Structure 1
């Protein structure tokens, strides 16, 4: 038996990376991008309709805090649970099933007429939405060559488990980076969903018309799309650490300045765009960092748990924002407070630099 030749071993990741299938890859990118487009639309929609809901239902602004957080809490549970299922039975069936599920829930949303019913339906919708980004990014990453993987995973973010337990994320020296990436995602999503949900309402209270307030919210997301596309290009050239540190440092300044320039529309649009570029655009970079750091067997788990833990921040952001507004904080104080978590993200990137080795061409697991 010892004289028999060893069985040939096929390295699936290497074969996929070396296979040139441009038409298939373009279709996969487009389909996953459409799934994330719907995900992004649902995440922002409540922020845009919040002023109208407040006026038509005659409810206090603070009543919408739990509504904003309900879908985000559902996303948290969906990302943690369905990413595990995806790595066991396949990403495609989970992605298709979740998309069908949350689409039905979204269609039912306009027919509710009470805050409790809206909270319940938003939570149910979030359960399906939670697995969209991790599975879409994992699929695109696996069918991309190493030279284009980061850029394509971040591009698809415009528009997560494995057979191994979550403990694998902390083995083989991955523990420190896992915790740091979770913390960065947590801090950044606090700010992202505070801005996405409350910015139009705060701007309307600042004296702008509903149309202008919506434009301000749209500029935030436009900056996010621009940041997602450009940051991937920069990361592939100078690395995650340098780009993310600069990104979150600028974000802290931009977000902290919104309240001070809220009365001057041109400057308001500039700083909101910059904040969207760095905060909204920076989150796909954090997701791509998780996908780039972990090996193939842990990629969906790594992205899923990074987003899942980060979603805790997305639940906290709208709730805390609503409470600060209820306490009649000034716009300046409100956005100064919002800048603190993203400043923490910048400092955590410095810690990340110390926890990772210098980049090596021989290893794809180097995030810096």
Structure 2
């Protein structure tokens, strides 16, 4: 059965080389590419599950071991530090090892360390294991996104990158339900079992079905393997391995260095993109950390707090169905900047409805989630479009790693503002400033990209 869609494929002439990324951009989204995207989405879902599950296990761990909140905070932080190491140090290794092996190695590492966590006997052991888990999670994500971007036609690239990152958010939701089901019946260690068995079961499927980056194969001089992958995209290509393939970034033997992100025309764009990542994650984690406290102080029930916690995630997933196609069809920069500017209004609305009926507050939180959680997913899709294939994994990894700095300091800043006497309403008005700044930066990056294309 043919794996291509019903849309006609461009006529191939054996006398001409195949050119990337045009070969993929000119074809429909076939079964081979859909399987690749699905596998990447499953990796992201399991990544999100493992990242979030520890938060739902924390009360049971604290009660079982009698540890302080400070000790649990150290365990949480260990995974974040591991994530940053994975993003910053392991993502650039995709140049040497391709994308498939980092994905599989990352999945193997975080699943095995999660499995060993079942037998952890004290907070120190669990902290070390969570650190190792974070490294695995951070190693897999950038290459997963890079593979999705490479095998997606340009007209669908942002939508599909957003789709797999929604898998990360769905992993958060799944962790909530799985922990709620397993912990009362089997104890908190059973959640680690679930978080390990599922990715371990996925590993042989990844080894069998997940493709390697075509551009990486070309840089390695493996033209025959690269052509075999392209024939899986378009089976109408002739059965030969002598067809020449050209890519924008396929110079044989070329090594990509992190410094390429900070040189020439990339420097300003990279720094500004990092700033958007950091500001967005600072707002996301700042609100996620302190929103329950704010709602409690305003007299809302515990049930409202639980619903509110899921509203930001649901908002981020829901908006992906709109902003992804908009980024593909109307332009990535303009669509994302419009989302941030709309978020300014949603934050103002939240400040105005505090103290109002529950449905108004939850609706406002949902809209904020569309901006903050949805913006975080969308800026990853923007990074996938911003960086060329040869530095895409490294660029995304470093953007995620630098962004984590914002995720760490965001809760501190929001907590400092509240401790300093800032009112709840004023806090949401203050958050308008970084949101508007994100919109302005993305808008400027769009104008700059057009100017560089014309230069």
Superposed pair shares fold, TM > 0.5:
yes
1:342 equivalenced with 2:435 (yes/no) = yes
CA displacement, residues 123-163 of structure 1 (integer Å, 9 cap, x when unaligned): 3322221133321111111112222222211211111x993
1:221 equivalenced with 2:313 (yes/no) = yes
Conserved in 1, the CA contact under 8 Å of 2:104 and 2:140? no
Q: Secondary structure at the match of 2:255?
A: coil
Conserved in 2, the CA contact under 8 Å of 1:221 and 1:280? yes
Q: Give the corresponding residue for 2:328.
A: 236
Q: Is the alpha carbon distance of 1:79 and 1:248 closer, same or farther for their aligned partners in structure 2, counting shifts above 3 Å?
A: same
Q: Is the alpha carbon distance of 1:67 and 1:144 closer, same or farther for their aligned partners in structure 2, counting shifts above 3 Å?
A: same
Deviation at 1:78, TM superposition (A): 0.8
Conserved in 1, the CA contact under 8 Å of 2:29 and 2:152? no
CA RMSD in angstroms, aligned pairs only: 3.5
Larger radius of gyration: 2
User: What is the alpha-carbon distance in structure 2 between the residues aligned to residue 48 and residue 318 of structure 1?
Assistant: 19
Q: Give the corresponding residue for 1:144.
A: 152
Q: Secondary structure at the match of 1:98?
A: helix
Alignment match of 1:312 (pick from 405, 409, 425): 405
User: What is the alpha-carbon distance in structure 2 between the residues aligned to residue 201 and residue 87 of structure 1?
Assistant: 44
Conserved in 1, the CA contact under 8 Å of 2:333 and 2:382? no
Deviation at 1:259, TM superposition (A): 5.1
1:85 equivalenced with 2:93 (yes/no) = yes
Q: Secondary structure at the match of 1:103?
A: helix
Alignment of 1:214-293 (within 5 A): 214-255=306-347, 257-258=349-350, 260-263=352-355, 264-293=357-386
Deviation at 1:178, TM superposition (A): 1.4
CA displacement, residues 269-301 of structure 1 (integer Å, 9 cap, x when unaligned): 111111111111112221122211222212212
Question: Which runs of 5 or more residues in structure 2 are unaligned?
Answer: 1-14, 168-215, 217-253
User: What is the alpha-carbon distance in structure 2 between the residues aligned to residue 114 and residue 341 of structure 1?
Assistant: 40
Deviates more, 1:341-350 or 1:28-37: 341-350
Question: Which runs of 5 or more residues in structure 1 are unaligned?
Answer: 1-6
Q: Give the corresponding residue for 2:162.
A: 154
Conserved in 1, the CA contact under 8 Å of 2:289 and 2:411? yes
Conserved in 2, the CA contact under 8 Å of 1:133 and 1:157? no
Conserved in 2, the CA contact under 8 Å of 1:99 and 1:128? yes
Conserved in 1, the CA contact under 8 Å of 2:282 and 2:407? yes
Q: Is the alpha carbon distance of 1:36 and 1:195 closer, same or farther for their aligned partners in structure 2, counting shifts above 3 Å?
A: farther
Alignment match of 1:297 (pick from 390, 396, 401): 390
Q: Is the alpha carbon distance of 1:202 and 1:41 closer, same or farther for their aligned partners in structure 2, counting shifts above 3 Å?
A: farther
CA displacement, residues 146-204 of structure 1 (integer Å, 9 cap, x when unaligned): 22222211211111x99311222234522221111111111111112223344345434
Alignment of 1:1-40 (within 5 A): 11-18=19-26, 22-40=30-48
Alignment of 1:98-113 (within 5 A): 98-107=106-115
Q: Give the corresponding residue for 1:4.
A: none
Deviation at 1:95, TM superposition (A): 0.8
Relative to the length of structure 1, the TM-score reads: 0.82
Q: Is the alpha carbon distance of 1:50 and 1:337 closer, same or farther for their aligned partners in structure 2, counting shifts above 3 Å?
A: farther
Deviates more, 1:318-327 or 1:163-172: 318-327
Q: Is the alpha carbon distance of 1:29 and 1:237 closer, same or farther for their aligned partners in structure 2, counting shifts above 3 Å?
A: same
Q: Secondary structure at the match of 1:156?
A: helix
Deviation at 1:11, TM superposition (A): 3.8
1:185 equivalenced with 2:277 (yes/no) = yes
